[in-house]
Amino acid sequence: MLKKKAIIFSLDAIFAIIIAGIMILACFFYLSQTSTNLYKNQDIYKISLDSLTILEKDNTLKTAVETSNTTIIQQFLNSLSEQHCGNITLYTSSSAAILSAQKTGCTSKNESTIAIRSFVANNSNIYYANMEAWYK
């Protein structure tokens, strides 16, 4: 009688184990992905809107236009939290940019949000303040 040696594990079984292992690892890898903050764009937009609102209400924007000086706006931008960046540009009603200031140390932009607020200066002339904000 011819003695034949058999394979302990068939190839099918080995492939099944490998595929099952890959699927399980893929599930864990996918599930371990952390989700980013869903509200971060909303937060940075609120920062822009709030900033323009308080700068308009305390007449900082009006003073900047009338004195052609962005020192106080620059000071405000530099006081933003470390993770926030922003720039403020002032426009006339005919969309001509007249003044601009950006937080020191902020250069590259990722996703940014823009808020616009109108204000009055120079004998009831209308101007617009545009604030672009982003995360460092």
Partner 1 sequence: MNKAQIFSLDAVIAIGIFILILLSAALVWNYSREKISIEETRNDMEIIARNSLAVLIETKGNPTNWTDYDFNQTDIYSLGLADEFLLLNSTKINSLSSADYSTAKTILGILGSNYEFRLNIDTWNGASYISNYTIGTAPNATASEVVNIERFVLLDDLWAKTTMKLWKSCEDATC
Amino acid at 91: Y
Considering beta carbons, is residue 29 or 110 the nearer one to partner 1? 29
Q: Which member of 1, 2, 11, 38 binds partner 1 (CB under 8 A)? A: 38
Q: How far is the CB of 116 from partner 1 (least distance, A)?
A: 16
Q: Angle formed by the axes of helices 60-67 and 40-57, to 10°?
A: 70
Asked if 123 interacts with partner 1 (CB under 8 A), we say no
Identify the H or E element spanning 117: strand 112-121
What mask of x and - would describe binding to partner 1 in positions 47 to 66, judged by CB under 8 A?
A: x--xx-xx--xx--------
Q: Which member of 76, 91, 119, 134 binds partner 1 (CB under 8 A)? A: 76
Q: Angle formed by the axes of helices 71-78 and 60-67, to 10°?
A: 140
Q: What is the DSSP string of 49-109?
A: HHHHHHHHHTTHHHHHHHHT--HHHHHHHHTS-TTEEEEEEEEETT--EEEEEE-TT----
Considering beta carbons, is residue 20 or 98 the nearer one to partner 1? 20
Site for partner 1 in 80-109 (CB under 8 A): 81
Cβ–Cβ under 8 Å, residues 119 and 61: yes
Q: Contact residues for partner 1 (CB under 8 A)? A: 8-10, 12-13, 16-17, 20, 24, 27-28, 31, 35, 37-39, 42-43, 46-47, 50-51, 53-54, 57-58, 76, 79, 81
